[in-house]
Amino acid sequence: MAFSSLRALIAGGSGVPKALFGYGSTGSDSSLTNKVDSSGNVATDTTGVGTVRHGLAAAGYGTDKALFGYGVDVGRVSMTNKVDSSGNVATDTTGVGTARGYLAAAGYGTDKALFGYGSSGSHVSLTNKVDSSGNVATDTTGVGTARIFPAAAGYG
C-alpha cells in the first residue's frame, strides 16, 4: 500500500511562523521537501535528505524546530530527521523505539513533541516522547486502543 503521507509541520521562529511539507509517496517513496512561507506560498521541490519513505509523522517542537519520524520504506523503520529553524532537514538518526508507519505526531507544551500509535505489522498502542533537543525516548506502551492512521494536534 503506497499511501500518500506528505505531512506539513510548523516550525516557528523569530516571530514568523513557517511550515514544511516533506517525504511521502509520489507513486514511489520520496524524500522531497517544500518550504512554505509566512504567506502560505509553497516553494518548489527540494530534493532528498535521508531515507525515502511514506507513512511517517512530523511535529514542531520548541519555538523553531521540527522533526520527521518513523515511516515505511521497504519495511517499517525507526528513524528521525531533525529540521532546523531554516527548514533544513538533517540526515537520518536511526532507531529509538518500535519501527512503525502510519502514526501521528504533535507538539505539546512549549518545547516538546510526541509520536503515537501506528502499525508495526499490526496495530499498536505506543507513544514516544520527544524532548526539547529533539531526542526521542523509548516506547511507552499501551494507553488507548491500538490503531493506525491517527491524527494528532496540539491544543491549549
Q: pLDDT by residue (tens digit) across 88-142?
A: 999 999 988 999 999 999 999 989 999 999 999 999 999 999 999 999 999 999 8
C-alpha grid cell, residue 104: 501521528
What is the number of other CB atoms lying within 10 angstroms of the CB of residue 98?
18
Q: Domain 7-141 maps to which CATH number in 3.10.20.90, 3.40.640.10, 2.120.10.80, 3.30.360.10?
A: 2.120.10.80
Q: pLDDT by residue (tens digit) across 42-87?
A: 999 998 888 999 999 999 988 889 999 999 999 999 999 999 988 8
Which residue in this structure is represented by grid cell 491549549? 156
This prediction has a pTM of: 0.85
Please name the residues in contact with 57: beta carbons below 8 A apart, sequence gap of 6 or more.
7, 68, 69, 70, 71, 103, 104, 105, 115, 118, 152
Phi, psi of 53 (to 5 degrees): -170, 165
Distance of alpha carbon 134 from alpha carbon 39, whole angstroms: 27
